[in-house]
Amino acid sequence: MAAILVAMTKHEKLVRDRIPEIIERAGKTATWRELRDAEFRVALKAKAVEEAQELFDATDDTLLSELADLEEVVETILTAYGYSRDELEAVRETKNEDRGAFARRLFLEAVSD
């Protein structure tokens, strides 16, 4: 009897809640598990990096979609760590007061001693 080989692509990353059902509707089988709190927090940070890279690579046509993905990760990180949107906004405002924002479009090229 011949063995049947099944191609499997490993992803090993945090995905949105409906991704397993979307995969199954496409006639494929997904293997997944629910993460514990500590694992989830680490996976969220990795997801933020992934989404930031996708934002960097985005075209003008996909920019808003990639921003939405990054925003979803930020919202989930806030919840996972017990922070509120108001707390984040307060920290953002403090940083803007202390260091400024990006309104002047300044690009630091070099600093000499």
Within-domain flag for 25: no
Give per-residue pLDDT as tens, 34-49: 999 999 999 999 999 9
**Domains held by the chain: number:** 1
pTM assigned to the model: 0.87
Within-domain flag for 75: yes
Reported as type and span, the H/E element at residue 40 is: helix 37-57
Residue 66 to residue 68: CA distance in whole angstroms: 5
Asked whether residue 1 carries a pLDDT value surpassing 70, the answer given is no
Give per-residue pLDDT as tens, 97-106: 999 999 999 9
Asked whether residue 5 carries a pLDDT value surpassing 80, the answer given is no
Within-domain flag for 51: yes
Which residues contact residue 80 at a Cβ distance below 8 angstroms, ignoring those fewer than 6 apart? 37, 40, 41, 44
Residue 35 to residue 39: CA distance in whole angstroms: 6
The predicted structure's pLDDT at residue 41: 98
The predicted structure's pLDDT at residue 66: 98
Within-domain flag for 7: no
The predicted structure's pLDDT at residue 25: 97
Q: If pLDDT is split at 50, 70 and 90, which confidence band does 84 have?
A: very high
Task: Find the domain containing 62 and state its range.
Answer: 32-97
